[in-house]
Structure 1
Amino acid sequence: MIDPFANNHQSMQIGELVIENQQDKITIYGDIDLMLDASGYQQAQQLHELTTKIMQAFDKGAPYSSDAPESKKNDDQQDKKIDNPFL
């Protein structure tokens, strides 16, 4: 389970749903089919736990501010040109 908004390197997957953690946002993409069986129940529990943790992070954090760091500013890549190692 990720720690919402805590870092820029955690990710997790529930079914085909991918959740990527960053300090200023959570990115969720993909899809998930929740079947009415044990597997569906487990995935629903994971979604519930994740959304609960995200809401708790909002409750703990300062009011929503535009002063928060942007993910692109925290990116490892610095727009530097490098030689293509495959040429």
Structure 2
Amino acid sequence: MSDKKQGFVPYANEADVVAVGKLMIENRLDRITISGDVDLTADKAGLARARKLQALLGGIVATLEGMSLPDELPPPAVGEVDNPFN
């Protein structure tokens, strides 16, 4: 079954990105990156955005609670690559 049918599955892949307003929630295998902003306005549209954000964060928390977690992840490995334009 594809992730599109299942929805956003936290920590399942390096591809899924969900937008809530201008807030981007990016899936990774070892982290979820949240960037941007969203206005949770006092109207039906704001309520819909708040519910979507709540469901996403609830899924992330539930996944983390079901994992065996280290105290802290090591920093990502950073390397250099040759300039492809030279």
User: Does the pair score TM above 0.5?
Assistant: yes
Structure 1 residue runs without a partner (length 5+): none
Question: Which blocks of at least 5 consecutive residues in structure 2 are unaligned?
Answer: 1-6
Task: Give the secondary structure class of the aligned counterpart of 1:58.
Answer: helix
1:19 aligns with 2:36: no
- After superposing on structure 2, the runs of 4+ consecutive aligned residues of structure 1 that deviate more than 2 Å are 66-73, 78-84
Give the whole-Å Cα distance in 1 for the aligned partners of 2:51 and 2:25: 15
Matched, 1:53 2:46: no
SS in 1 for 2:14: coil
**Structure 2 residue aligned with 1:42:** 48
- What is the aligned-residue identity percentage? 29
Q: 1: CA distance between counterparts of 2:77 and 2:44? A: 39
Higher RCO, Cα 8 Å, sep 6+ = 1
SS at match of 1:43: helix
> Aligned residue for 2:4?
none
Change (3 A) 1:71 1:26: farther
